Amino acid sequence: MAAHNELGAWGEELAADYLQRKGYDIFERDWKSGHRDLDIIAQKGSTVVFVEVKTRRNRVFGEPEEAIDYRKLQNLRMAINYYVKSRRISREIRLDVITVVGTPDGGPPEISHIEDIPMY
């Protein structure tokens, strides 16, 4: 596995652990629909939460969440829409972003949870 893929997998594992500690139930991880994917699908209360995880070694090139540009948001919307329709979900949904900054062999990573990103 390429180093950036290993870093991403590490970040997603930390994000899933973080969510579980905060009382979220994880339904799925790395769900794919064609070339679109959803990192984590969870539930908190009656809300289905779609979580995009962005992991970076450092902030040299900006904040991790800045990587969610218009095109990425559009792909997330399409994947979420397909997931909701295919699973016939009629509950409230939201999109969150979890950022992880650090490396597995470094000190403690910085984890940030941004809730309820506007999808439209």
Asked whether 102 and 109 are in contact (CB, 8 A), the reply is: yes
Distance from C-alpha of 26 to C-alpha of 17, rounded to nearest angstrom: 10
Helix (H), strand (E), coil (C) string for 1-64: CCHHHHHHHHHHHHHHHHHHHCCCEEEEEEEEECCEEEEEEEEECCEEEEEEEEEECCCCCCCH
Please give the mean pLDDT across all residues of the chain.
95
The predicted pLDDT at position 5 comes to 84
The mean pLDDT values, 10 residues at a time, for the chain of 120 residues are: 86 98 97 94 98 96 94 96 96 98 94 92
